[in-house]
Chain A
């Protein structure tokens, strides 16, 4: 599959949109906006899964896509949004180093492209592009986790990482246990979120842990 063919073009576009959502995620300081960017990424991931299901004629991908849209695009953002609205405005944002993290993210995208393309030489173009974008998403999620202090933002970074892994998985034709993998990832993030929510979001500035560091 090459450019000019619809299956490739749409998959490519959806992958690019996910990358855009990841950059939008990194650019946010307000937690509500973080949740919204994450929701958008979840919806695009679901659409990408649905599209791949149609292209590969794999019905289990429809299930993955619908789960992604329902859970990541609607339910989790709804719950998080409700929790956030209960907080005072000052606790709904963090002073994140946005510009440096975006620059770092750009460098990492370049790195991901440089790494992913040579090692997949000889595979289908669609798979290669998907893997390159998925690796970029994974690294961008790690940047999000590494540059933020609030627990919710870090969980958002983890969810972005998981979205990247899922994008890679749905791009591989005939991937076994896809639905199971996606559900397991979802359960993991939901578990983490529940842990964060159970103790209340406001107490979760990981900067508080600094004084427990040795040295």
Chain B
């Protein structure tokens, strides 16, 4: 029963918070740049406006253009629901396998690339091509980093991992540091943030994510925007669940613990969002041909984490 309740609470929070988090990041970034910035509620207002509008579909678009927004949103939403946030032991916890999460992100990515390709727009195909070119680097780095974490935790279940790490069962390991850096790099690339992609512009020759949804409009655009917001939230929640699970309510705890867990989770997300805004303000976008190098560095760090982990487990 408590598993179902926490899952429902988590789901409500995820849907409510995802656009707010995006708005929060944009607001902090605007303040850092000396602008007043739109209210953090702005993404919600945009979504409400877009949802009321009919999508305008290109003449040559196939059924893919209509179907992919729903597929991508469903995959991303499921991923966001699986990552534990306010409490461990949610109803979907047995499903929260790290490899499954990677697969869900991959489904969303393929749907997005197909949508970019479908209308035959040059920009969309270019964005999709770039996205697919970066994917092997990002996904291999992600998998290697996650597997070294799984070696530490003794399994790929994220829920069990978060519970173990909350109790400090892993000690202070250098592999964790390398895995964290690799995951941060992948998270930046996956969410199309600076320095890999610029989320704030539409007309730039180096854009990736925005290029693919250039054709989308109305309801479909709302779904894509919501998907991007959910993805950012899911990634931040993933990082928090692994590296900063403090404050999460243990499985089977009472409603009071859930409340505290939710508060702690929201606070941690706000902090991470502010950190992202600071990072994005401080760094310049890199050339698109440098991105594979950036992600290759992430893969290298992940491999290093795995190598050092094998050594230290052989020692201890």
Contacts and interface: CB of A to CB of B under 8 A. Distances in A.
A13 B172 CA distance: 7
Contacts of A98: 293
B174 A106 contact: no
A113 B171 contact: no
Contact of A19 (B172, B173, B304): B304
A16 B179 CA distance: 12
Given A16-B177, A23-B300, A102-B300, A128 B171 contact: no
A102 B300 CA distance: 8
B173 A3 contact: yes
Contact of B307 (A10, A27, A99, A113): A113
A15 interface: yes
A79 interface: no
Interface in B259-294: 293
A151 interface: no
Task: Tell me whether chain B's interface is mostly helix, strand or loop, or mixed.
Answer: helix
A117 B314 contact: yes
B296 interface: yes
Given A19-B304, A102-B296, A12 B311 contact: no
Size band of the interface chain B makes with A: 20 to 34
Contacts of B314: 117
B39 interface: no
A23 to B, nearest CB: 7
B178 interface: yes
24 contacts: A4-B171, A9-B173, A10-B172, A12-B172, A12-B173, A12-B174, A13-B173, A13-B177, A15-B174, A16-B174, A16-B175, A16-B178, A16-B308, A19-B174, A23-B301, A27-B297, A98-B293, A99-B293, A102-B300, A106-B304, A113-B307, A117-B311, A125-B316, A129-B311
Interface of A: 2-4, 6, 9-10, 12-13, 15-17, 19-20, 23, 27, 98-99, 102-103, 106, 109-110, 113, 117, 125, 128-129, 132
Interface of B: 171-175, 177-178, 181, 293, 296-297, 300-301, 303-304, 307-308, 311-312, 314-316
Going nearest first, the 10 A-B pairs with the smallest beta carbon separation are A16-B174, A9-B172, A4-B171, A125-B315, A2-B316, A3-B316, A3-B171, A113-B311, A13-B174, A12-B174
